[in-house]
Amino acid sequence: MSVLRNKAAIRWDFDEAFELSGLASPFPRGISFADVDSETEIHGRFLDIEGKRDGETLSAGQRYTMDAKVRDGRTCVVVRGIPPHDIHSIQIWPGPVWSANLSDFHRLVAKWAQWADQQSQPAAKEDPFVTLLFTRSHPVS
């Protein structure tokens, strides 16, 4: 993750943008846009990290999303502690939680990065939605 260039920058909030514009959510069942804490790709392998403060739990939507990412072959990690760098525990989703610190987290990420860097690119997957869109005259028609 690169350093935020403009620390005073306003973050994108698509849920709020639609609401303020009088547009209904484009998603069913109250689903909202996700806030991804960290996503890193090396050779087509993904490491997704969700940071939580001590005592915070993943929302039902976050748990569902993490489960789906794991089924898709991604490595998902939940880090808990006091932001920005006081780590108290780590969980490789959906496994057990163990006590950890920043150095432990660094070693875990370095181990994942070394593994991912030694992998070959996985076969490309076709996105059926994109295929459907481009059989039409305009993608958002």
**Alpha-carbon span 66 to 77, nearest angstrom:** 9
Count other C-beta atoms under 10 Å from residue 5's C-beta: 6
Position 88 in a domain = yes
In a domain, 24, yes or no: no
13 within a domain of the structure (yes/no): no
Q: Considering the domain boundaries, does residue 9 fall inside one?
A: no
Closest CA to 74 of 99, 56, 97, 93: 93
Name the one residue in this structure whose structure tokens are 């998902």.
76
Mean pLDDT across 91-103: 98
Indicate the pTM of the whole model: 0.84
Q: What is the pLDDT, as a whole number, of residue 50?
A: 97
Q: Determine if residue 15 is left, alpha or beta; phi over 0 gives left, psi from -120 to 50 gives alpha, anything else beta.
A: alpha
What is the domain extent for residue 128?
37-133
Q: How many domains does the chain have?
A: 1
φ, ψ (nearest 5 deg) of residue 134? -85, 5
For residue 110, being part of any structural domain is answered with yes
How far, in Å, CA of 17 to CA of 10, rounded?
A: 12
Give 20-50 pLDDT, tens digit per residue. 999 999 999 989 998 889 999 999 999 999 9
